[in-house]
């Protein structure tokens, strides 16, 4: 089954590289897009956080500065000028505190230890809230440092009149607060004024959750609160003047890019989904197309290398296999066998049953052969009814023959058509590669020569190439040319006539015309030497016509009751055959009753309507039909009945063994019974011994022929014999 089973349609359904590549590409693009987007979002959001941090820092700075706002001082100053009473200072301080949203306000001397006034409901007494003490102390220290500085405060301007400082502190209760200190110099006073008239205004403004909430609200930030830094929150350290971190505010950063991304998510997701669908469709399409393409390609390759009818390798693949087998020694010390196979009589089947039936048989032959093939063999159909086989790894000639005999056995069973079963045989020619001295072309030639030899040897044969075959083939070629010449010129061909005697009377019943060829170089050639060649080359039609013409020409002038002419089965292929015979008879003026045609079983085997019709036509005209060499072929009683015939000629091989072999005797006896039953006469041919003659006569043969009675004679001698007999009678 070496080459038969490769099915062009089972294409592997694996994803092809293109699809894989596209998938990898798409995934890579998606990953890159995700990473890129993430990076961009992060980048934008980071910048947003920085901006938010700046905003908060600025807002807090504003809040901080508000604790020493100029207007705060002016309120106090205005109030003090109208009422210089320290008692009422507390009320003023409270006004300042309330108008400026401060928690507490203290008015101190620059020395700072005694508050002149305190703002705020909790501390009506003139004392500093213990919660604020550290903060106030810190401010006074910073003020002292400021005053003690080399340059000193410049009081010449309004701004210099009211120097101030602010800080951010943690109060004793842990709360953070903005604190501020302003120096309030009396209005209109100069540098010369007593220092006692100077006051310090200290304001405390805790950074409350409320303050942060309103800040957050104002700047569009969410969840601004005090907290240590933690993930997902933006934080801003709060520093005091000394630069130390005293706390953090934290908030939920806005992350505009991320929210933009989220807002855009449904759109993006649908887009990606659609894109993925589109891509999937595209990939599926690409895949299907490529699979189809590959399948078409596989199919095309298959068709290019196989015979469409049988699925066997074609000539191209066969050549390839042959070259491969010859190029790579299959096993050490083995050879390659090339077997040429040709069906015998296939043309008859085609002619008889039609081409469809012929195809059916070719198919069956291929199937049967493929089942009988060794594993590594390649079976090819080279055309028509020609097959060939390459078999690598053959050990010797014996093995090659054994393989072929197995193949020949597949023809033992008849081939079944829808309305008939047909016997077909095949001829085999084997060439064995010997060493590597032989080319593939030479191998093919040798297999053909061997095939030819087995055909010549009578078909259904197996021959292994032998150099001697080349010589005989060459001789055959020249013989063909010479026969063609002889038929053209009428030179060298002649007929002998072997008399056939009446079994009872011993009289000459008739004579069989036997062709001879007086070859210029080879002398007198018997038909065995050239009939096969004539059949192969088609010259048989011309030869047959010449024989008939010559026999009729002779018979019409002689006293011979009838003349028998041998007809090759191939002559029946010519649909004009019967008409040709009748035309010759009338042209020569020989009555149809004086002609017998000897046909062989091969003719009946063809079982064709046209042959049946031709035989019927010849018989109706009065020509007798004899079945020659009966018992050597495959003839069946069925055939005999289907074509009513006039005569059976029992083959010489039976005559030869009839005296000594009881089995032959009983066969001949039943053949004669059969002929009687079918109303046919029986001729025994090849009689060489008296015992044979007597036995065959006793068995009931009606006519006898053989060397014992008469050898084939020239026309002249036959005429002599006839005259002699007549005078005796």
Residue list 3-42, contact with Ca ion (CB under 5 A):
none
Binding test (CB under 5 A) with Ca ion, winner from 566, 608, 655, 710: 566
Q: How far is the CB of 709 from ligand C2E (least distance, A)?
A: 8
Nearer to ligand C2E, 72 or 623 (CB): 623
Nearer to ligand C2E, 260 or 691 (CB): 691
Nearer to ligand C2E, 596 or 607 (CB): 596
Nearer to Ca ion, 352 or 705 (CB): 705
Q: How far is the CB of 510 from ligand C2E (least distance, A)?
A: 14
Nearer to ligand C2E, 168 or 571 (CB): 571
Q: How far is the CB of 656 from ligand C2E (least distance, A)?
A: 8
Nearer to ligand C2E, 433 or 628 (CB): 628
Q: How far is the CB of 359 from Ca ion (least distance, A)?
A: 36
Q: How far is the CB of 676 from ligand C2E (least distance, A)?
A: 22
157 class by beta-carbon count within 10 Å (0-12 exposed, 13-18 middle, 19+ buried):
exposed
Q: Which does 531 bind (CB under 5 to 8 A by kind): Ca ion, ligand C2E, none?
A: ligand C2E
The packing angle between helices 662-677 and 690-699, to 10°, is 40
628: contact with Ca ion by CB under 5 A:
yes
Q: How far is the CB of 531 from Ca ion (least distance, A)?
A: 11
Nearer to Ca ion, 56 or 540 (CB): 540
* Bridging pattern class, strands 681-684 and 647-650: parallel
- Cα distances (angstroms) measured from residue 543 to each of 456, 478, 562: 19, 17, 20
The packing angle between helices 540-557 and 577-588, to 10°, is 30
Nearer to ligand C2E, 168 or 710 (CB): 710
Nearer to Ca ion, 346 or 497 (CB): 497
Q: 376: which DSSP letter?
A: T
Distance CA 75, CA 184 (A): 11
Q: Which does 393 bind (CB under 5 to 8 A by kind): ligand C2E, Ca ion, none?
A: none
Q: How far is the CB of 685 from Ca ion (least distance, A)?
A: 5
Q: 571: which DSSP letter?
A: G
Nearer to ligand C2E, 315 or 553 (CB): 553
Residues that bind ligand C2E in the complex, under the rule CB under 6 A: 498, 513-515, 526-528, 531, 544, 547, 566-568, 598, 628-629, 652, 685-688, 705-707, 712
CB count in 10 Å sphere of residue 61: 13
Nearer to ligand C2E, 393 or 686 (CB): 686
Nearer to Ca ion, 182 or 571 (CB): 571
Q: Which does 164 bind (CB under 5 to 8 A by kind): ligand C2E, Ca ion, none?
A: none
Residue among 537, 523, 500, 526 at smallest CA distance from 626: 500
Q: Which does 462 bind (CB under 5 to 8 A by kind): Ca ion, ligand C2E, none?
A: none
CB 506 within 8 A of CB 530: no
Residue of minimal Cβ distance to Ca ion? 598
Q: How far is the CB of 505 from ligand C2E (least distance, A)?
A: 20
Q: How far is the CB of 712 from ligand C2E (least distance, A)?
A: 5
Distance CA 79, CA 88 (A): 9
Q: Which does 514 bind (CB under 5 to 8 A by kind): Ca ion, ligand C2E, none?
A: ligand C2E
- Cα distances (angstroms) measured from residue 198 to each of 149, 179, 337, 646: 18, 20, 132, 168
Q: Which does 526 bind (CB under 5 to 8 A by kind): ligand C2E, Ca ion, none?
A: ligand C2E
Q: 15: which DSSP letter?
A: P
Q: Show the DSSP H helices in 158-255 as ranges.
A: 158-161, 209-219
Q: 659: which DSSP letter?
A: T
Distance CA 135, CA 233 (A): 30
CB count in 10 Å sphere of residue 146: 16
Distance CA 394, CA 334 (A): 5
Q: Which does 136 bind (CB under 5 to 8 A by kind): Ca ion, ligand C2E, none?
A: none
Q: How far is the CB of 703 from ligand C2E (least distance, A)?
A: 13
Distance CA 350, CA 362 (A): 10
Distance CA 565, CA 9 (A): 59
The packing angle between helices 577-588 and 609-621, to 10°, is 20
Residue list 185-244, contact with Ca ion (CB under 5 A):
none
Beta bridge pairs of residue 648 = 627, 682
Tell me how many residues contact Ca ion (CB under 5 A): 4
Which CB contacts under 8 angstroms, 24+ apart, belong to 434-441? 434/335, 436/326, 440/319, 440/322, 440/323, 440/326
Distance CA 704, CA 719 (A): 19
Q: How far is the CB of 519 from ligand C2E (least distance, A)?
A: 14
CB count in 10 Å sphere of residue 198: 16
> Residue 635 contacts by C-beta under 8 Å, 6 or more apart in sequence?
601, 604, 605, 627
> Residue 718 contacts by C-beta under 8 Å, 6 or more apart in sequence?
497, 499, 511, 558, 560
77: contact with Ca ion by CB under 5 A:
no
Stretch that binds Ca ion, among 241-249, 272-280, 492-500, 592-600 (CB under 5 A): 592-600
Distance CA 301, CA 317 (A): 10
Q: 340: which DSSP letter?
A: E
Residue among 312, 304, 341, 371 at smallest CA distance from 3: 312
Q: Which does 45 bind (CB under 5 to 8 A by kind): Ca ion, ligand C2E, none?
A: none
Nearer to Ca ion, 361 or 650 (CB): 650
598: contact with Ca ion by CB under 5 A:
yes
Distance CA 648, CA 627 (A): 5
Stretch that binds Ca ion, among 20-28, 226-234, 377-385, 563-571 (CB under 5 A): 563-571
Stretch that binds Ca ion, among 329-337, 597-605, 640-648, 697-705 (CB under 5 A): 597-605
Q: How far is the CB of 345 from ligand C2E (least distance, A)?
A: 17
Q: Which does 515 bind (CB under 5 to 8 A by kind): ligand C2E, Ca ion, none?
A: ligand C2E
Nearer to ligand C2E, 272 or 526 (CB): 526
Helix or strand run (H / E) with residue 37:
helix 17-66
Looking at 44-114, which runs of residues are DSSP E strands? 104-108
Q: How far is the CB of 548 from Ca ion (least distance, A)?
A: 14
Q: How far is the CB of 425 from ligand C2E (least distance, A)?
A: 20
Nearer to Ca ion, 342 or 629 (CB): 629
Q: Which does 492 bind (CB under 5 to 8 A by kind): Ca ion, ligand C2E, none?
A: none
629: contact with Ca ion by CB under 5 A:
yes
Q: How far is the CB of 551 from ligand C2E (least distance, A)?
A: 8
Q: Which phi and psi (to 5°) does residue 381 adopt?
A: -110, 120
- Binding positions for Ca ion, rule: CB under 5 A: 566, 598, 628-629
């Amino acid at each position: 089954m070496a080459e038969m089973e490769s099915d062009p349609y089972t294409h592997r359904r694996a994803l092809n590289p293109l699809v894989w590549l596209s998938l990898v590409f798409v995934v890579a693009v998606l990953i890159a897009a995700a990473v890129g987007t993430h990076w961009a979002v992060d980048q934008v959001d980071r910048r947003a956080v920085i901006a938010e941090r700046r905003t908060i820092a600025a807002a807090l700075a504003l809040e901080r500065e508000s604790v020493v706002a100029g207007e705060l001082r002016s309120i106090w100053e205005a109030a003090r000028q109208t009422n210089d009473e320290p008692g009422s200072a507390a009320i003023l301080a409270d006004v300042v505190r309330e108008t400026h949203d401060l928690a507490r306000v203290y008015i101190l001397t620059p020395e700072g230890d005694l508050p002149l006034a305190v703002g705020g409901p909790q501390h009506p007494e003139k004392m500093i809230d213990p919660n604020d003490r550290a903060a106030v102390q810190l401010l006074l220290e910073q003020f002292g440092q400021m005053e003690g500085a080399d340059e000193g405060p410049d009081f010449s301007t309004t701004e210099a009149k009211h120097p101030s400082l602010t800080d951010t502190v943690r109060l004793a209760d842990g709360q953070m607060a903005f604190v501020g200190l302003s120096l309030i110099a009396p209005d209109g006073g100069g540098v010369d004024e007593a220092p006692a008239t100077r006051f310090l205004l200290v304001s405390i403004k805790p950074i409350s959750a409320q303050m942060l909430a309103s800040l957050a609200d104002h700047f569009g930030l969410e969840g601004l609160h005090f907290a240590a830094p933690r993930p997902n929150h933006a934080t801003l350290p709060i520093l005091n003047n000394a630069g130390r971190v005293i706390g953090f505010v934290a908030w939920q950063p806005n992350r505009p890019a991320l929210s933009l991304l989220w807002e855009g998510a449904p759109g993006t997701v649908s887009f990606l989904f659609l894109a993925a669908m589109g891509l999937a469709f595209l990939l599926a399409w690409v895949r299907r197309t490529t699979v189809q393409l590959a399948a078409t390609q596989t199919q095309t390759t298959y068709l290019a290398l196989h015979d469409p009818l049988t699925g066997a390798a074609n000539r191209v693949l066969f050549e390839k296999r042959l070259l491969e087998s010859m190029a790579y020694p299959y096993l050490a010390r083995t050879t390659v066998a090339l077997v040429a196979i040709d069906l015998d009589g296939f043309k008859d089947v085609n002619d008889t049953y039609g081409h469809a039936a012929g195809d059916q048989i070719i198919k069956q032959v291929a199937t049967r052969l493929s089942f009988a093939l060794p594993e590594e063999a390649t079976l090819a159909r080279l055309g028509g009814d020609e097959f060939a086989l390459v078999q690598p790894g053959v050990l010797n000639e014996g093995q090659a023959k054994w393989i072929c005999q197995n193949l020949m056995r597949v023809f033992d069973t008849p081939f079944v058509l829808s309305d008939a079963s047909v016997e077909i045989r095949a001829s085999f020619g084997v060439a064995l590669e010997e060493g590597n001295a032989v080319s593939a072309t030479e191998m093919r030639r040798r297999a053909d020569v061997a095939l030819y030899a087995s055909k010549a040897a009578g078909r259904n044969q197996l021959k292994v190439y032998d150099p001697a075959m080349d010589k005989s083939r060459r001789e055959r070629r020249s013989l063909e040319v010479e026969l063609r010449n002889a038929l053209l010129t009428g030179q060298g061909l002649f007929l002998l006539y072997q008399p056939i005697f009446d079994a009872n009377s011993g009289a000459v019943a008739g004579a069989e015309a036997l062709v001879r060829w007086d070859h210029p170089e080879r002398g007198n050639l018997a038909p065995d030497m050239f009939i096969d060649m004539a059949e192969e080359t088609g010259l048989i039609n011309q030869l047959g016509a010449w024989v008939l013409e010559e026999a009729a020409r002779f018979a019409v002038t002689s006293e011979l009751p009838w003349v028998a002419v041998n007809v090759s089965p191939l002559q029946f292929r010519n649909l004009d055959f019967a008409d040709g015979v009748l035309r010759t008879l009338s042209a020569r003026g020989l009555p149809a009753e004086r002609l017998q045609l000897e046909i062989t079983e091969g003719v009946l085997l063809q079982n064709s309507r046209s042959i049946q019709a031709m035989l019927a036509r010849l018989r109706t005209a009065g020509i007798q039909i004899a079945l020659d060499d009966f018992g050597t072929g495959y003839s069946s009683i069925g055939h005999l009945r289907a074509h009513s015939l006039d005569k059976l000629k029992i083959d010489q091989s039976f005559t030869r063994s009839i005296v000594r072999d009881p089995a032959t005797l009983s066969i001949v006896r039943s053949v004669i019974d059969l002929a009687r039953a079918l109303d046919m006469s029986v001729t025994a041919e090849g009689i060489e011994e008296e015992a044979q003659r007597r036995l065959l006569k006793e068995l009931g043969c009606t006519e006898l022929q053989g060397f014992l009675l008469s050898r084939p004679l020239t026309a002249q001698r036959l005429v002599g014999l006839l005259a002699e007999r007549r005078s005796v009678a």
